[in-house]
Amino acid sequence: MSDKLTKASQSDLYMAMGDEAQVLWDEMHEISLDEAHLRGQRIVTAQKTDPVHKRFDMLRTRLLLAMREHGWTRIAVTGVTEGCGASFVAANLALSVARMESVRTVLFDMHFTSPSLANLLGVENPGRLSDYLSGRIAPEEYLIRAGRSLALGLNDTKVYHSSELIQQMMTTDVLSEMQDLLCPDMVIFDLPSVLDSDDVLGFLPNVDGVLLVVGGGQTLPEEVQRAEQALADKTQLLGVVLNKAESIF
C-alpha cells in the first residue's frame, strides 16, 4: 500500500472518529530532529540520557496540572533580560512535553529580531512566522511536525516592526484559528525579555500565563523585581525558572 493511500485511510478514520484536528496534524511537513545536534545545544529533554531532563520533566508536570485545572493552554516563556536562556528553557520544555505523545504541543519562536529556536533545534529553512501571523498561509502549511505530537512554528527572518505585528488583530485571529483547528493541549511562545522589549507586554493578551526565566549569576534582584512588577496585574505568573545555576532550576 502506498504512503498516499495509507494517509488517506488514516484521514478517513480520524474523520469518522471526529478527530479532524489529527487530520491537519498529519498534513504537516514532518521532520526528525538530530539527536547529536540537540545534545550539542544542551537540549536535554529529547532523550533521557542527561539527568537534567528530570528537572524539566518536573516543570512540565507542574505546568500541565495547573493548566488543566484552570483550562489554560497558552504560556509565554520570557527572560528578565536578554541572555537568561528563555529559548533554551522553551525548547527543553516543549521536547519534554512532546515525549507524552497524547499531549499535543506547539512551540512558537516569537523572537522576531533575533530568532534562535531553528538553530537550537537544527531545523533548516523553517519559513517566515510573519507570513503565518499575517494570515497568508494556513497552519498546516507553515507548521513543521517533529514527531507525533509536537508542532514547530519557527522563523529565520528578522522582523523589525515586531511590536506592530504582535499587537495587530490578525495575529490574535490567526492564533485563535490555530487553537480551534489543531486543538493543542499546550502552546509555548518563546518571547524576548521583559525588560528589553515591549513585545512581551503587547503579546500578553494572547496567553494564559508567563514563565519567567532568571539568569543565575547574571540577573540582579532589582531586575527580577522590575520584571515581576511589569507582569503584575497583566497576566498569571506561572513560575520563575533559575537558569545557568548549578542546580539549573
Reduced 3-state DSSP string for the chain? CCHHHHHHHHHHHHHHCCCHHHHHHHHCEEECCCHHHHHHCCCCCCCCCCCCHHHHHHHHHHHHHHHHHHCCCEEEEEECCCCCCHHHHHHHHHHHHHCCCCCCEEEEECCCCCCCHHHHHCCCCCCCHHHHHCCCCCHHHHCEEECCCEEEECCCCCCCCHHHHHHCHHHHHHHHHHHHHHCCCEEEEECCCCCCCCHHHHHHHHCCEEEEEEECCCCCHHHHHHHHHHHCCCCEEEEEEEECCCCCC
- Tell me which of 197 and 118 has the higher pLDDT: 118
Tell whether the model's pLDDT for residue 117 goes beyond 80.
yes
pLDDT at 163: 85
Q: How confident is the model at residue 5 (pLDDT cuts 50, 70, 90)?
A: very low
pLDDT at 167: 86
pLDDT at 16: 44
pLDDT tens-digit map of 45-79: 988 777 788 999 999 999 999 999 999 999 999 99
- What does CATH list as the number for 32-243? 3.40.50.300
pLDDT tens-digit map of 177-228: 999 999 999 999 999 999 998 899 999 999 999 999 999 888 999 999 999 9
